[in-house]
Amino acid sequence: MKWFNQEPSQIIEHFESSIEKGLSQSQAESRLQECGPNELAETAQMSTLSLFLVQFKNPMLIILAIGGLLSVLGGHLVDGIAILVIVVANALITFIQELGAKKSLDSLREMGAPNALVLRDGEWQKLPVKTLVPGDIVKLNTGDVVGADIRLLAANQLQIDESALTGESEPVEKNIELLHAPELGIGDRINLVFTSTIVTAGNGTGVVVDTGMNTEVGHIANLMQTAESVETPMQRRLNSLSHALIGVAVAAVAIVVGIGLYNGADWLEMLQTGISLSVAAIPEGLPTIVTIVLTMGAKHMARGNARIRQLASVETLGSTTVICSDKTGTLTQNQMQVVAYWSGGKTFDVTGQGFEPVGRFLDENDEELDLEQTPELKYGLIISAICNDAELQEKDGRYSIQGNPTEGALVVAGTKVGIYRDALFEEGFQLIKSFPFDSKRKMASSVIRGPLGRYWLIAKGAPDVLLNRSNAIYWNNEAVSLNDDFKQKIHTGIDAFGKRALRTLALAFVEITEADIDKPQEEHEQDLTFLAMHGIIDPPRPEVVEAVAQCTDAGIRTVMITGDHAATAQAIATELGIRKSDQELVVTGPQLEEISDRKLRELAPTTSVFARVSPEHKQRIVKALQANDEVVAMTGDGVNDAPALRNADIGIAMGIAGTQVAKDSADLVLLDDNFSTIVLAVKEGRRIYDNIRKYLRAGLTANVSEVSCVLFAFLLMANEPLVPLTALMILWINMLADAMPSLCLGWEKQEADLMTRKPRKRNESFFAEGLGARILVRGLIHGYIIYALFQFVLSRGGSVEYAQTIAFVSLIFIQNFHLLDARSFKSIYRLNPFENKLLITVLVAATGSSLALIYSPLGGMILGTVAISAKHLLMTAAIAALPTFVLSGIKELFGVKWL
DSSP bridge pairs for 208: 150
CB contact at 8 A, 198 and 145: yes
Helix (H, G, I), strand (E, B) or coil at 437: strand
Chain-centre distance for alpha carbon 320:
11
Helix (H, G, I), strand (E, B) or coil at 705: helix
Helix (H, G, I), strand (E, B) or coil at 260: helix
Any idea what DSSP says for residue 868? -
**Angle at the Cα of 600 from the Cα atoms of 599 and 603, rounded to 5 degrees:** 90
Q: How far is CA 815 from CA 713, 786, 812, 839, in A?
A: 20, 11, 5, 13
List the catalytic residue out of 136, 161, 210, 326.
Answer: 326
Helix axes 59-73, 233-262, angle to 10 degrees: 30
Q: Is 564 assigned a catalytic role?
A: no
CB contact at 8 A, 543 and 674: yes
Based on the number of CB atoms within 10 Å of its own CB, is 109 exposed (0-12), middle (13-18) or buried (19 or more)? Answer: middle
| Identity at 242, one-letter amino acid code | S
| Identity at 543, one-letter amino acid code | E
DSSP bridge pairs for 534: 341, 505
- CA–CA distance, 885 with 600 (Å, rounded to integer): 54
Query: 453: how many CB neighbours lie within 10 A of its CB?
Result: 9
Q: How far is CA 259 from CA 267, 718, 720, in A?
A: 11, 10, 10
405, HSE (Cβ side, Cα atoms, 13 Å): 20
Based on the number of CB atoms within 10 Å of its own CB, is 395 exposed (0-12), middle (13-18) or buried (19 or more)? Answer: exposed
In this structure, the dihedral spanned by the alpha carbons of residues 390, 150, 192 and 221, taken in order and rounded to 10 degrees, is 90
DSSP H helical ranges for 304-404: 313-319, 375-386
Residue 196's nearest CA partner among 640, 786, 574, 614 is: 640
Residue 650, φ and ψ in degrees, nearest 5? -145, 120
In angstroms, what is the C-alpha Rg of the chain?
Answer: 36
Any idea what DSSP says for residue 538? -
Residue 656's nearest CA partner among 391, 306, 417, 228 is: 306
DSSP letters, 451-500, are: TTS-EEEEEEE-HHHHHHTEEEEEETTEEEE--HHHHHHHHHHHHHHHHT
Query: 756: how many CB neighbours lie within 10 A of its CB?
Result: 11
Checking DSSP bridges between strand 528-537 and strand 337-343, what pairing results, if any? antiparallel
CB contact at 8 A, 765 and 690: no
16, HSE (Cβ side, Cα atoms, 13 Å): 8
- CA–CA distance, 671 with 547 (Å, rounded to integer): 17
DSSP bridge pairs for 44: none
Helix (H) or strand (E) holding 137: strand 137-140
Any idea what DSSP says for residue 329? I
CB contact at 8 A, 443 and 460: yes
Helix (H, G, I), strand (E, B) or coil at 482: coil
CB contact at 8 A, 406 and 460: no
- CA–CA distance, 666 with 362 (Å, rounded to integer): 43
CB contact at 8 A, 769 and 897: yes
Active site residues: 326
